Structure 1
Amino acid sequence: MQINQNKRKQRLILLSFVASIILTGLKFFAYYLTDSNAILSDALESIINVIASGFAFYSIYLSAQPKDRNHPYGHGKIEFFSAGFEGALIVIASLFIIIEAVKRIMEPAPIQNLAQGAIFIIITIIVNMLIGYKLVEEGKKSNSLALTADGQHLLSDSVSSVVLIISVGLIMLTGQIWIDSAASLLFGLFLAYNGFQLVSKSVAGLMDATDESLLEKIVQSISENKKDHWVDVHNLRVQQYGSDLHIDCHLTLPYYWELQKAHEAIHEFENILKENHTGETEIFVHADPCLPKCCYFCKMNNCPVRQYDFVQDIDWDAANLVKNQKLYEDASLKLNV
């Protein structure tokens, strides 16, 4: 299952790479026909597509490699680096495009054959939208930042090309050449914003920043499948490296259980979390013994060592489960017990 998913990701990113090379050639041919600065900006940005897709292909290949002695947590973080590399290239390209646009505004140059050039750009829009949508869809399904980033890049390229076509149409209708450079300037600013967003996501991933949506998904899975003998879950940590998911937490179980029974309960807990993830899931659970104060919040029936009656349940939400303390400790203070 995991192997097939990785092969599918590699095929998709390879398709993106080949398509980017062909479409970049079409855009430069359109620039050759028109001498349009806006079309040149679009073509230059497409060079970034080629480089980024090539690096993304390598990163997806590397992230699929098994763990080894030097990389005990796998190679999934390379996808964060790939997205950051792509974002940095986009920002650099946007700066070049903005500078050239300002120069053209100050020193306008004649434009020709806009209709013919627009036809080639329209072809690139259609292809980029189809491939970009597929990459984003598959990237979200497989939790691949490299795949999602490349797909979003192609989609943003399509949007910017649509703006380019509109500017070409306005130039043909009005004859105002300055529109070409203005469109190029807006295109450069749009690219800079998208590049910065990619770099931010990459840095967050490399720094192990919390993915709130992923954390909420894990917490929801725990809460919806909560067992009475799961007395407490705390110190929950969730990290995504490529398509690999890593979860650490502390699980409080009845202190009088034998080791075999505690092991089976932990195995059940791990299987529930793995059911909702398509990639490889690695879970480390530290088992804690329950204490007398847990009785106030424990719903286990017929407990042979219960010392206090059940008082209330505790909300198992993200804010509670990530705390580095047992849930009953904070709840006990509030109840003054």
Structure 2
Amino acid sequence: MQINQNKLKQRLILLSFIASIVLTSLKFFAYYITSSNAILSDALESIINVIASGFAFYSIYLSSQPKDRNHPYGHGKVEFFSAGFEGALIIIASLFISIEAVKRLMDPTPIQNLAQGSGFILFTILVNTAIGYKLLSEGKRVNSLALVADGRHLMSDSISSVMLILSVGLIMLTGYAWIDSVSSLFFGVFLAFNGFQLVSKSVAGLMDASDENLLEKVVQTLRDHKKPEWIDVHNLRAQQYGSDLHIDCHLTLPYYWELQKVHETIHNFENILKDSHSGETEIFVHADPCLYQCCYFCRIDNCPVRQHAFIQDIEWTAASLVKNEKLYNEARIHIQE
């Protein structure tokens, strides 16, 4: 499953790379026959697509490599770096485009053959939208930030090209050539915003910021498969690097159990989490002995050391399970209520 996912990611990003080269060539040809600043801006931004797709392809290849002595947690974090690199390139391109747009506003040049140039741009919109949508959907499915970033880049490229077509249409209707540079300036601002979003997400990933959606998915899996002997889970942490998922937590079990039974229970606990994720999953579980306060929410039948009757379950939520403390504090609050 993991090998197939990596091959799929590599094929998709390779498709994006090849398409970027072809479409960039078409856009520069469209600029050649029109001398449109807006079309030039779109073509220059497409160069970023080529560079970014090439780097994304390498990052996906590297993230698929198994962990080694120098990288004990694997190579998946390179996808965060790839997304940040792509975002930075987009911001640089937006600055260049904005500066060029201001220059053209101050010193306008004639525009020609807009209808023919728009035909080429319309074709690139269709191709970019199709490939970008595929990258976005597959990237979200396999949780690949590199695929998502490249897909989002292509979709933003399509949106900007639509804006370009609209501006060309306005120029043809009104004859106002300055619309070309103004639309290019707006395009630059739009690109800067998208680039900033990618860089922010990249930095968050490199800094191991919590992924609330991922954490909620892990907690939901635990809720759906909760066993009576899983008395308590706390200090839960989950991080995903590429397709690799890393989870560690503390699991409270009956203090009188033998080591073999503890081992088997933890093994089953890990397998349930692994089965919920299609990629490679690495789990570290620290076994904690139960305390008498746990009796209030412990569902083990015929417990030989029970000191209090069961009162009620404590709802497992992401907010409570990430705390580095047993849930008997939560139980005390519920009992008092």
Query: 1:309 — aligned with what?
Result: 309
Return the alpha-carbon distance in structure 1 between the equivalents of residues 329 and 250 of structure 2: 14
Query: 1:269 — aligned with what?
Result: 269
Return the alpha-carbon distance in structure 2 between the equivalents of residues 141 and 280 of structure 1: 14
**What is the DSSP-based 3-state SS (H/G/I as helix, E as strand, rest coil) of the residue aligned with 2:195?**
helix
Query: 1:182 — aligned with what?
Result: 182
Asked if 1:28 is matched to 2:28, the reply is yes
Of the structure 1 ranges 327-336 and 195-204, higher mean CA displacement relative to structure 2 is found in 327-336
Query: 2:10 — aligned with what?
Result: 10
Return the alpha-carbon distance in structure 2 between the equivalents of residues 159 and 178 of structure 1: 21
Query: 1:288 — aligned with what?
Result: 288
2:271 alignment partner AA: N
Return the alpha-carbon distance in structure 2 between the equivalents of residues 250 and 68 of structure 1: 26
Please, what TM-score do these two structures have when normalized by structure 1?
0.98
Q: Where does structure 1 lack aligned partners over 5 or more consecutive residues?
A: none
1:34-80 CA-partner distances (Å, limit 9, x unpaired): 00000000000000000000000000000000110000000000000
Return the alpha-carbon distance in structure 2 between the equivalents of residues 253 and 105 of structure 1: 71
Query: 1:319 — aligned with what?
Result: 319
Residue pairs, 1:1-337, within 5 angstroms = 1-332=1-332, 335=335
2:57 alignment partner AA: F
Please, what TM-score do these two structures have when normalized by structure 2?
0.98
**What is the DSSP-based 3-state SS (H/G/I as helix, E as strand, rest coil) of the residue aligned with 1:171?**
helix
CA contact (8 A) 2:314 2:330 kept: no
1:304 offset after TM fit, Å?
A: 1.1
2:76 alignment partner AA: G
1:293 offset after TM fit, Å?
A: 1.0
1:97 alignment partner AA: I
**What is the DSSP-based 3-state SS (H/G/I as helix, E as strand, rest coil) of the residue aligned with 1:310?**
coil
Return the alpha-carbon distance in structure 1 between the equivalents of residues 313 and 12 of structure 2: 47
1:225 offset after TM fit, Å?
A: 1.2
1:235-290 CA-partner distances (Å, limit 9, x unpaired): 00000100100001000001111111111111111111112211101110001010
Return the alpha-carbon distance in structure 1 between the equivalents of residues 177 and 187 of structure 2: 16
1:166-190 CA-partner distances (Å, limit 9, x unpaired): 1111101110101101110110000
Indicate the percent of aligned positions where both proteins have the same amino acid: 78
Of the structure 1 ranges 325-334 and 45-54, higher mean CA displacement relative to structure 2 is found in 325-334
Of the structure 1 ranges 222-231 and 41-50, higher mean CA displacement relative to structure 2 is found in 222-231
Q: Where does structure 2 lack aligned partners over 5 or more consecutive residues?
A: none
**What is the DSSP-based 3-state SS (H/G/I as helix, E as strand, rest coil) of the residue aligned with 1:115?**
helix
Return the alpha-carbon distance in structure 2 between the equivalents of residues 232 and 290 of structure 1: 8
Return the alpha-carbon distance in structure 2 between the equivalents of residues 136 and 301 of structure 1: 48
Return the alpha-carbon distance in structure 2 between the equivalents of residues 108 and 276 of structure 1: 59
1:88-132 CA-partner distances (Å, limit 9, x unpaired): 000000001011111111221110000010011011101101111
**What is the DSSP-based 3-state SS (H/G/I as helix, E as strand, rest coil) of the residue aligned with 1:157?**
helix
CA contact (8 A) 2:232 2:326 kept: yes
**What is the DSSP-based 3-state SS (H/G/I as helix, E as strand, rest coil) of the residue aligned with 1:131?**
helix
Give the root-mean-square deviation of aligned CA atoms: 1.2
**What is the DSSP-based 3-state SS (H/G/I as helix, E as strand, rest coil) of the residue aligned with 1:300?**
coil
2:74 alignment partner AA: G
1:333 offset after TM fit, Å?
A: 5.8
1:330 offset after TM fit, Å?
A: 4.1
1:4 alignment partner AA: N
1:129 alignment partner AA: T
Return the alpha-carbon distance in structure 1 between the equivalents of residues 334 and 183 of structure 2: 60
Return the alpha-carbon distance in structure 2 between the equivalents of residues 273 and 216 of structure 1: 13
Return the alpha-carbon distance in structure 1 between the equivalents of residues 292 and 165 of structure 2: 71
Return the alpha-carbon distance in structure 2 between the equivalents of residues 72 and 34 of structure 1: 54
**What is the DSSP-based 3-state SS (H/G/I as helix, E as strand, rest coil) of the residue aligned with 2:157?**
helix
Deviating above 3 A after TM superposition, structure 1's stretches of 4 or more consecutive aligned residues are 333-336
**What is the DSSP-based 3-state SS (H/G/I as helix, E as strand, rest coil) of the residue aligned with 1:84?**
helix
1:332 offset after TM fit, Å?
A: 2.7
Return the alpha-carbon distance in structure 1 between the equivalents of residues 136 and 96 of structure 2: 27
Return the alpha-carbon distance in structure 1 between the equivalents of residues 8 and 224 of structure 2: 32
